[in-house]
Amino acid sequence: MTRFLTLFTMALLGSPTLALAVEHNAGYRGIGYIYFSFIAAVLIYGVYDAFGKTSMYVMAPIILIVAINLVGDQVRDQLNPRLKR
């Protein structure tokens, strides 16, 4: 668990660097990655806490794929507002 918290902290603190490295008209993409990464980490820990390590290993990739797709939808909506659902 300590290793997970260390990696999570490193990823969270490194995310603003990625957001600032993008050109100035990037919009909310950087903060979107931070937001959905935080939500994914909380959901993964909730699965671990409620159902155990084996369930976490099964659900973590699914949660991460959904979070990445949500960020992709957010970026797509900003790039072309006419495509909003």
Q: What is the pLDDT along the chain (85 residues), one digit of tens a residue?
A: 788 888 887 777 666 655 555 555 556 666 777 788 888 889 889 999 999 989 889 988 888 888 777 776 665 666 566 655 5
Residue type, 39: I
User: Which pLDDT does position 16 carry in this prediction?
Assistant: 60
User: Which pLDDT does position 63 carry in this prediction?
Assistant: 85
User: Which pLDDT does position 51 carry in this prediction?
Assistant: 92
User: Which pLDDT does position 10 carry in this prediction?
Assistant: 76
User: Which pLDDT does position 27 carry in this prediction?
Assistant: 60
Q: Are 74 and 66 in contact (CB under 8 A)?
A: no
User: Which pLDDT does position 64 carry in this prediction?
Assistant: 83
User: Which pLDDT does position 50 carry in this prediction?
Assistant: 92
